Each structure stands twice: as C-alpha cells, then as structure tokens.
Structure 1
Amino acid sequence: MKRVVLTLAIVSVLAACVSAPTGPTIAVMPREGKPFEVFQQEDQQCREFATNAVKDTSNAALKEGATSAAIGAALGAAAGAVIQGGSSQNIGTGAGVGLLGGAAIGAMNSAGKQNQAQTQYNIAYQQCMYSKGNQVPSYPGSGSGRNFNPPSSGFKPIQ
C-alpha cells in the first residue's frame, strides 16, 4: 500500500512539472502616440485571448506526463513479476524502474507539447496585439527593397 501511495505521489509531482504558458515570450510595443494605459489594457485582453486559444494543447501536455509515468509503472511492475516469478519485492522494483522510465518519456513528450502550446500562445497574442494597432516583431517583407542575397565570392560563372 505504501508503494502505491508513493507511486501516485511521484506521478503527481512529475505531472506538476509541466505548466501551461503564463505569458508571451515575445516583445510587442505600443504604436507611437498610444497611451500606455490603453496598451496595458490591450495586453491583458490579448493574454486572455491567447490563453483561451491554447487550453486544449496545455491540457494535453499535462496529461501526457502523468499518463506515461503511470503506464511505465504498470509495465515495470508486470516485468518485475515475470522476471522473478512474482515475488512482491521484484514487482515493487519493476514498478519503480518503470515509473522512472515512464516519467522520463512522459517528460520528453510533454515538453514537446508544452513548446507547441507556447508557440501557439505567442501567435495568438501577436495576432491580437497586431489587430489593435501595436507593433509586433516580424520578418522583413519581400517588398522591403533590401537585398538579402549572399555576398559575392568573387568568382564569375562560366558562360
């Protein structure tokens, strides 16, 4: 019974390591002449918009870590029982090893989902702030007139 409680506690702690985006990781500036108080209100509105846009992805990341750890513990317990003929000591050892392996795999999978959630959050936040007339970071457009060709090597093509 103690091992079951310990296993559940460890799974809970590992699942708590995964978190939803808490804010944008990009800088947005108010347009010239916009009062800062208005910009702050728009920032808050857009943070709420972005949070709602990524709820499903964030929840998936949280579930991924806990599910993988629980499955790993179950498979480890089964493997421990099979390898040593079902002694309770080996079942516990197998469950512990499976829990660690499952937690590691879950952490990797949930980290990928967490990065995806942050990217989606940033995009939603940028779209919202841009629609309110603020300055958002972007790549130079194709019509900017800048030359982005690589520097010349000094060699001329043979004609």
Structure 2
Amino acid sequence: MLLSLVLVGAVAGCVQVPSGPSVMVLPGAGRSFDQFNYDDAVCRDWALRQTGVRPSRAANDTAVATAAAGTVLGAATGAAIGAASGNPATGAAVGAGAGLLGGSLVGAGSANASYYETQHRYDVAYMQCMYAKGNQIPVPRGSHPPRSMVAPPSGGYDVPPPPRGGPPPPPYDY
C-alpha cells in the first residue's frame, strides 16, 4: 500500500502547477497599474470560482483516481488468473502491482489532459473578466477574418456562354 501511494505521488508530481493565468492581459487605456493589479486579483478569484477547482488540483485528483482504479482492476484480474492457476493471493498481488503501474501511467496522461482542459477554462474566464473591467486582451494576428476584395458589379455586361461542344464543367464538391 505504501508503494502505491509513493508511485501515485510521483506520477502526480509530474503535473505542472500553474501560478495563475497562462494568458497575457494588458492594462486598459487610461487605467493605472494599481487598478490593473486590483482587477487581476478580482479576476483570478472569479476565474477560480467559474472553473470550480484549480487546474493543478483537477489534474492531481484525476491521477490518483485513475491509479486507484487501475490497482483495483489489476487486483481483481490477477486474482481471477491466480485462481485459475491455483494461487489467487499471489495473482492478486501481482495484478495489483501491474494495475497500479498501468493505472499510474494512464493517470499521468489523464492528469495532463485534465490540467490543460481546466487551465483553458480558467484562462477564458480570466480574460472575460479582465476585458469586462476595461483591460486589453491581445488578439493574435490570424484571428481576424481576411478582408475580401469583391469586384464591383459589372456594368450590365453579360458573361458569354461557353463554346459549343466543350467538356462539361467539373462537379462541385461540398
């Protein structure tokens, strides 16, 4: 049991703990830095309440739950295999160890995914709050739709028909 707690702790220790938002927000025009710092504190708290949990806590909970489930499943499978070979206790012990190892590895991946998903929700809530308080959110250059240059309508000229006997136009794929 001690080994399982050490292994789960080691896997959970691989998760990065955020120190706050992972996005940049700038003070709004005409706003003091003290007001910006106040808004930052308020919005960090608001983002935390919106997500319900710190990203690091969600990741650690996921890692522990997955490792524990792997241990239980491994012990049950090991006991069944051990019973078939006449030694269910040894099978359960080996299965629990293998399940803990597999569950810890899967838990590390799940914890990482849980961390990034929770961090994203936290960042979105933080940016919404900071923007609503008059601060600036930098927008990536590629996020604006490109301007399309539309030709002015033709002056009543008709487009000539295609030449006779030519191949049909290719079909449009939607």
TM-score in same-fold range (> 0.5):
yes
- CA offset digits 1:44-67 (Å, max 9, x no partner): 111111112112484554332111
Query: What is the distance in 2 between the residues matched to 1:148 and 1:89?
Result: 71
CA distance in 2, matches of 1:12, 1:55: 23
1:128 — aligned with what? Answer: 129
Find the aligned partners of 1:65 and 1:14 in 2 and give their Cα distance: 7
**1:148 Cα deviation from its structure 2 partner:** 6.1
Bigger proportion of residues as helix: 1
Larger Rg: 2
Partner Cα distance (1:135, 1:76) in 2: 51
How many residue pairs get aligned? The number is 145
CA contact (8 A) 1:57 1:113 kept: no
Identity score, percent: 38
2:64 alignment partner, one of 49, 63, 66: 66
User: Partner letter of residue 131 of structure 1?
Assistant: A
Question: CA shift at 1:43, angstroms?
Answer: 0.9
1:79 is aligned to 77
* 1:115 match: 116
Post-superposition offset of 1:81: 2.7
* Contact 2:71 2:98 survives alignment (8 Å): yes
Contact 2:7 2:104 in 1 (8 A): no
Distance 1:56 1:33, change over 3 A: closer
Give the TM-score normalised by the residue count of structure 2: 0.68
- Measured in 1, the distance between the counterparts of 2:14 and 2:104 equals 11
Residues 1:42 and 2:30 are matched in the alignment = no
TM-score of the superposed pair, with normalisation by structure 1: 0.74
Structure 1 48/148 Cα, relative in aligned 2: closer, same or farther at 3 Å?
A: farther
The alpha-carbon deviation at position 111 of structure 1 amounts to: 2.0
Cα gap change, 1:148 to 1:68, in 2 (>3 Å): farther
Q: 2:49 aligns with which of 49, 52, 62?
A: 52
- The runs of 4+ residues in structure 1 deviating greater than 4 Å are 16-21, 56-60, 139-142
The runs of 5 or more residues in structure 2 that have no matched partner are 150-161, 163-174
Gaps of 5+ in 1: 150-158
Q: Tell me the residue number matched to 2:106.
A: 105
CA distance in 2, matches of 1:136, 1:96: 49
Aligned equivalents of 1:86 and 1:13: distance in 2?
A: 31
Q: How does 1:84-99 map to 2 (within 5 A)?
A: 84=82, 85-86=86-87, 88-99=89-100
Moved more, 123-132 or 85-94: 85-94
Q: CA deviation at 1:109?
A: 2.1
Alpha-carbon RMSD across the aligned residues, in angstroms, is 2.8
Q: Which residue is equivalent to 1:147?
A: 147
